[in-house]
Structure 1
């Protein structure tokens, strides 16, 4: 499996060539969310690689990529991906992203529109209610405290899972979060929520969302965020699909439904 180095940061990525070539080539880059890794897309990779060149990446500080002491602003992640897209000759690429990866992908699409053909976004973490700022500030502080492991696991259980979340996914997510050192979890969370490029709250997110010119397919479980997305959609091929009863990991809880919608949308994507 290949690695790519940028400014001393070593990024892991894995490439899956298409099994068939039904038409013009389409390159996909799959971007995980906060505290995740490339294997979070295990339900999507087999479906996507049947027709498309599919690449998965571990963001800096996650998975098999290196863990520098700094550089965790969303803009840093976006520039990492821009360099990887050029290195791997993926442009223009379709970004399939989850959670924080949706914010990273949106920053990338706004900054480097020539590199991005379209975006498919699963439960984006952007454009949240500003009234949550105080709660998230306390959470960021707690993630730096002595009970950081339990705080991180409680966040996953309380905010990301629902009663319908399968038990094997609950177990996976609660174990996965502990594979990241506490200082890294704290730093990545604080930057995603409050960093210079953060899109976590609507006032900061909306101007950047409106900068996107690419088609967007967005899977939302929060109606308020879905409405912000609708107001900012830039392209006629864009679409919002709501999953109000799903957990945060919609693509893992409902893989068949997500894959079906995604494959239909990709097949009709303007070339």
Structure 2
């Protein structure tokens, strides 16, 4: 799928090819805003799914660029690292390959974890942050029992896990109801692409690697709460109040520690808040861009 207002292209990187979606609108008169660099989430996500609305919403003001991470979408020939720090470094290499020296980094879920690491590891690149239900901000998953229950299956061999994921594809549509509070709020094109991504060979590999890298038996290995206060750029946390995948408390605590961060908690909204509450999301991002620049 190629969302309205975008075009698909690829770049050579790290011995493989990274698929990008880029806005097609030409910014209007006056100086163009800092480019948006968009990072999708995990599971059976890709750049076209998470950022379906973003190209038309923001492309008239600035460049909008979204990448498919290794193991997702149309990116090929690059082994998924799993570790969000390594993925942040790869994202920085993509920016460098495109000649981008400053970006507004936008990430959802797993991509929020990557965007936070991008700001911490490459502070000169990131001018502002938009974080939608971001991962990487809790010490444990709910409680110790849930933590070990998530960690144990992640230790199985990858062929076993991928086979189990393929067997679960008939239930992917039902799984959407755990991701969003109102499935009817999703554009039908997004639902169809979500199902296509789930059926893609090795479509779960990138997310499996992320889970292996971040899940520990007793705690999360990617908890950034101890260091997130170092981020000084303007930041927007946009989190569904009814998110069943990522606890909003992590966003609340992180925003309180960051000098220029603001939390928007969206009532009646689940994990894909940028899709479920698209109009509110666009308005809040526009406010951040106006304040931060």
Q: Please indicate the TM-score interval, normalised by the length of the shorter structure.
A: 0.7 to 0.9
Q: Are residues 1:147 and 2:161 paired?
A: no
Matches within 5 A, 1:182-221: 182=202, 185=204, 187-195=205-213, 201=220, 204-221=223-240
Q: The residue matched to 2:178 in structure 1 has which SS?
A: helix
Q: How far apart are 1:140 and its partner, in Å?
A: 3.0
Which residue does the alignment assign to 1:64? 74
Give the distance between the partners of 1:155 and 1:190, measured in 2 at CA: 20
**Native 8 Å contact 2:239 2:265 kept in 1:** yes
Give the distance between the partners of 1:190 and 1:146, measured in 2 at CA: 12
Give the distance between the partners of 1:135 and 1:250, measured in 2 at CA: 26
Give the distance between the partners of 2:131 and 2:113, measured in 1 at CA: 9
Change in CA separation of 1:13 and 1:160 when aligned onto 2, cut-off 3 Å = same
Uncovered stretches (5+) of structure 1, i.e. residues with no partner: none
Write out the 4+ residue segments of structure 1 that deviate beyond 4 Å after TM superposition.
Answer: 167-170
**Native 8 Å contact 1:95 1:105 kept in 2:** yes
**Native 8 Å contact 1:127 1:205 kept in 2:** yes
Per-residue CA deviation, residues 176-206 of structure 1 (Å, 9 max, x unaligned), is: 4414434x51x433443341699x9498221
Q: Are residues 1:127 and 2:141 paired?
A: no
Give the distance between the partners of 2:215 and 2:230, measured in 1 at CA: 14
Uncovered stretches (5+) of structure 2, i.e. residues with no partner: 1-7, 241-246
Which residue does the alignment assign to 1:160? 179
Q: The residue matched to 1:242 in structure 2 has which SS?
A: strand
Give the distance between the partners of 2:222 and 2:73, measured in 1 at CA: 31
Change in CA separation of 1:97 and 1:145 when aligned onto 2, cut-off 3 Å = closer
Q: Are residues 1:39 and 2:48 paired?
A: yes
Q: How far apart are 1:160 and its partner, in Å?
A: 1.1
Q: The residue matched to 1:207 in structure 2 has which SS?
A: coil
Q: CA RMSD in A?
A: 3.0
Give the distance between the partners of 1:138 and 1:158, measured in 2 at CA: 25
**Native 8 Å contact 1:156 1:173 kept in 2:** no
Q: The residue matched to 1:195 in structure 2 has which SS?
A: helix
Q: How far apart are 1:122 and its partner, in Å?
A: 1.0
Q: Are residues 1:9 and 2:34 paired?
A: no
Per-residue CA deviation, residues 136-195 of structure 1 (Å, 9 max, x unaligned), is: 22453687165323557389435313246536558436504414434x51x433443341
**Native 8 Å contact 2:106 2:129 kept in 1:** yes
Q: The residue matched to 1:2 in structure 2 has which SS?
A: strand
Q: The residue matched to 1:27 in structure 2 has which SS?
A: strand
Q: Give 1:233's match in structure 2, choosing from 233, 258, 261.
A: 258
Q: TM-score of the superposition, structure 1-length normalised?
A: 0.84
**Native 8 Å contact 1:94 1:118 kept in 2:** yes
**Native 8 Å contact 2:176 2:183 kept in 1:** no
**Native 8 Å contact 1:44 1:255 kept in 2:** no
Change in CA separation of 1:146 and 1:84 when aligned onto 2, cut-off 3 Å = closer
**Native 8 Å contact 2:215 2:221 kept in 1:** no
Give the distance between the partners of 2:221 and 2:86, measured in 1 at CA: 21
Q: How far apart are 1:213 and its partner, in Å?
A: 2.3
Change in CA separation of 1:229 and 1:173 when aligned onto 2, cut-off 3 Å = farther
Q: How far apart are 1:211 and its partner, in Å?
A: 3.0
Give the distance between the partners of 2:182 and 2:19, measured in 1 at CA: 34
Which residue does the alignment assign to 2:272? 249
